[in-house]
Amino acid sequence: EAEVAQSPRYKITEKSQAVAFWCDPISGHATLYWYRQILGQGPELLVQFQDESVVDDSQLPKDRFSAERLKGVDSTLKIQPAELGDSAMYLCASSLGQTGVDEQFFGPGTRLTVL
């Protein structure tokens, strides 16, 4: 069964360091999402891609976060510099096409701890 892949699964870093997360969506899925989930809360959308284009990055802290999906397939989310408040689960999801119609499928997530 096709799955969304993410790496690393766990990341521990010190504040002010740079971190990067990778996501490989289900093959053929045009839409890719990055979410952040703080413990005890539901995920919040950080950025949404349609193919290689950013559709929504209104909640992405652009002073320190960046995301790219250069060839419209896999994607990288970067944080530089990391802050203590960035400790959270970072989830990647993909869907076949547009939101509002298609089911989103989630990867296993990357647990980030900033010391």
Partner 1 sequence: KQEVTQIPAALSVPEGENLVLNCSFTDSAIYNLQWFRQDPGKGLTSLLLIQSSQREQTSGRLNASLDKSSGRSTLYIAASQPGDSATYLCAVDSWGKLQFGAGTQVVVTP
Question: What is the contact surface with partner 1 in residues (CB under 8 A)?
Answer: 4, 6, 33, 40-45, 48, 55-56, 89, 91, 93, 98-101, 103-109, 111
Tell me the C-alpha to C-alpha distance, in Å, between residue 87 and each of 50, 71, 84. 27, 29, 6
Which is nearer to partner 1, 36 or 69 (by Cβ)? 36
Residue 95 burial by Cβ neighbours in a 10 Å radius (0-12, 13-18, 19+): buried
CB of 59 to partner 1, least distance (A): 9
Tell me the one-letter amino acid at 21.
Answer: F
Tell me the one-letter amino acid at 89.
Answer: M
In 3D, which of 112, 115, 99, 92 has the Cα closest to residue 43?
92
Which is nearer to partner 1, 35 or 65 (by Cβ)? 35
CB of 115 to partner 1, least distance (A): 18
Tokens 């284009």 belong to residue: 53
Which is nearer to partner 1, 81 or 89 (by Cβ)? 89
CB of 101 to partner 1, least distance (A): 7
CB of 76 to partner 1, least distance (A): 18
